[in-house]
A and B are shown apart, each in its own frame.
Chain A
Amino acid sequence: DAGVIQSPRHEVTEMGQEVTLRCKPISGHDYLFWYRQTMMRGLELLIYFNNNVPIDDSGMPEDRFSAKMPNASFSTLKIQPSEPRDSAVYFCASSPPGELFFGEGSRLTVL
């Protein structure tokens, strides 16, 4: 298996623009997690899904953030409108359950 695949790897956008981050989990994994990592706040859990159903979205910072998992092989994290404070590395991870397998991350810069 190719592992967890995230795209884009790097995104630079201007404040107010919509940003969509994508994730393809490892086939057969039931859980999918979205994390955000910054120097100030560390690694924050944003939301996780079990069998495509959102289980805990308490970490989503505000209504500008939304996440979907329309099927077992694809998830998106959308920010609309984006703000400079959203600049971070966003990681997607999947698990069978148990041990997490991380993607390479999407580095977002909002100017």
Chain B
Amino acid sequence: ELKVEQNPLFLSMQEGKNYTIYCNYSTTSDRLYWYRQDPGKSLESLFVLLSNGAVKQEGRLMASLDTKARLSTLHITAAVHDLSATYFCAVSNDMRFGAGTRLTVKP
């Protein structure tokens, strides 16, 4: 069965700092997705990564995919409070999600 692991599960960071969230998966997949969920809300699509080496950037977030290593990263640059949310990755084989990374950005 496909396993999707994210780390860290909880991340507290200061505004202005950089950090990376990791998503590992256990079987071959050619697509990976990142989603954001605010407390009490639904999930919102952030990035769709379609091939090995794909890199997507939106504002302070940048996502990349290494299909050979079965690894995707979500890099946060100069964090701001508005980025506080839970971030999920999902693998395309059957759209199973990781446990999520709960990010808190403190002033």
Contacts and interface: CB of A to CB of B under 8 A. Distances in A.
A43 B88 contact: yes
Interface string A33-75: 1010000001101001000000010000000000000000000
A43 B82 CA distance: 23
A45 B42 contact: no
A98 B31 contact: yes
B43 A91 contact: yes
A45 to B, nearest CB: 5
Interface residues on A, range: 10 to 19
Contact of B97 (A43, A98, A105): A43
A105 B42 contact: yes
A77 B70 CA distance: 33
Interface string A70-111: 000000000000000000000101010011111111000000
B69 interface: no
A103 B95 contact: no
Given A100-B95, A102-B43, A104-B41, 14 more contacts: A33-B95, A42-B97, A43-B43, A45-B96, A48-B95, A98-B31, A99-B33, A99-B48, A100-B33, A102-B42, A102-B44, A103-B42, A104-B42, A105-B42
